[in-house]
Structure 1
Amino acid sequence: MITEVAQIEVLPGHEDQFEQAVSQAVPLFLGAEGCEEVDLQRSTEQPGRYRLLVRWETIEHHTDLFRQSQGYQRWRALAGPHFAAPPQVEHLYSVLAP
């Protein structure tokens, strides 16, 4: 299991619109092959900073399949106009035994 963590800085005053855009995009993620879960978290200290957390079966489900899909294009069309800068994305995996 891989967790995609995208730190997203949103334009000032666009927070509500961005949150609505992500809500609309959740089915795009969940409908993608290999996507298990989506969550959006907002910083209390930096209200224009968000972290989008997406759990994928493998990194390839995100990088090779989703990023080449129509769902990804739609996600970017919905959320992209609210980005203050390109999202910073990394992929994490757990190192703790279950």
Structure 2
Amino acid sequence: MILEIAQFQIKAGSESAFEAAVAKAAPLFRRARGCHGLRLLRSIENPSRFTLEVKWETVENHMVDFRESDDFAEWRKLVGEHFASAPDVGHVSIAVEGF
């Protein structure tokens, strides 16, 4: 199991619209091969900064199965207009999980 961690800086004033777009896009992730759920976190200190965590079986499920799908294009169409800068995306392995 791996976790995709994507950091987003969102245009000021677009935060609520971004949250709504992620909620609308959630089914695109949930139906993707190897996806085990996601959550969106919002910074308290910097309210225009968000972190998206997506749990995947493998990196390939994210980088190949999802990123090369029509659902990924739809995801970017829904959220891309809200980006103040390009997202910072990486992967970590889940060593211990307790929440």
* TM-score, length-scaled by structure 1: 0.96
Q: Sort the Cα spacing of 1:54 and 1:46 in 2 relative to 1 into closer, same or farther, 3 A.
A: same
Consecutive unaligned residues of structure 2, counting only runs of 5 or more, are: none
Consecutive unaligned residues of structure 1, counting only runs of 5 or more, are: none
Distance 1:72 1:30 in 2: 12
Matching residue of 2:30 = 30
CA RMSD of aligned residues (A): 1.4
Distance 1:71 1:97 in 2: 28
SS of 2:23's equivalent? helix
Runs of 4+ in structure 1 over 2 Å off: 94-98
SS of 1:86's equivalent? coil
1:1-98 aligned within 5 A: 1-96=1-96
How far 1:94 sits from its partner (Å)? 2.4
Q: Sort the Cα spacing of 1:68 and 1:51 in 2 relative to 1 into closer, same or farther, 3 A.
A: same
Identity within the alignment, %: 45
Distance 1:94 1:30 in 2: 19
